[in-house]
Amino acid sequence: MSELQASLLLKRQLAELHRNPVDGFSAGLINDEEIFKWEVVIIGPPDTLYEGGCFKAHLTFPKEYPLRPPHMKFVTEIWHPNIEKNGNVCISILHEPGDDKFGYEKAEERWLPVHTVETILLSVISMLADPNDESAANVDAAKEFREDYAEFKRKVTRCVRRSQEEV
């Protein structure tokens, strides 16, 4: 797929999200001139520790989109087993397509060109609601989630409060 086709596809997806907003997030361009760099705001899912939070993240799309996945990084501080301390999101559907060299993920769990911004963000919202501490990107958060849930909850609550102050 060419860069032009990727650009047109992203413009269509953005227009669709503006016409038919989805509960739980909003999306737009960081800079109106650059279709490959988006800013999203994810609202912490109800009935989770993240409820009430407004977490900003950036989605950076490769020129080969949708054949290759975007990169997602939270720019708002967030404490979660599947989000690296620097904000990088580690979720199966954002991993390069094909077989996992470590054998942990099935090819169909990884990136597929049928994914859209909407399916990515709904998956991230689901990840916030249900962390996978067995496949941690943030080992400290995963260990705390398992062994000291009260401290984990305290750190998440602090992140939620800070995210609200930034809005």
Q: Catalytic positions, please?
A: 90
Max CA-CA distance within the chain? 49
Whether the ω angle into residue 62 lies within 30 degrees of 0, i.e. cis, is: no
- Strands (DSSP E) contained in 11-120 are 25-29, 37-43, 54-60, 71-74
User: DSSP character for 108?
Assistant: G
DSSP string, 65-95: TTSS--EEEESS----TTB-TTSBB--GGGS
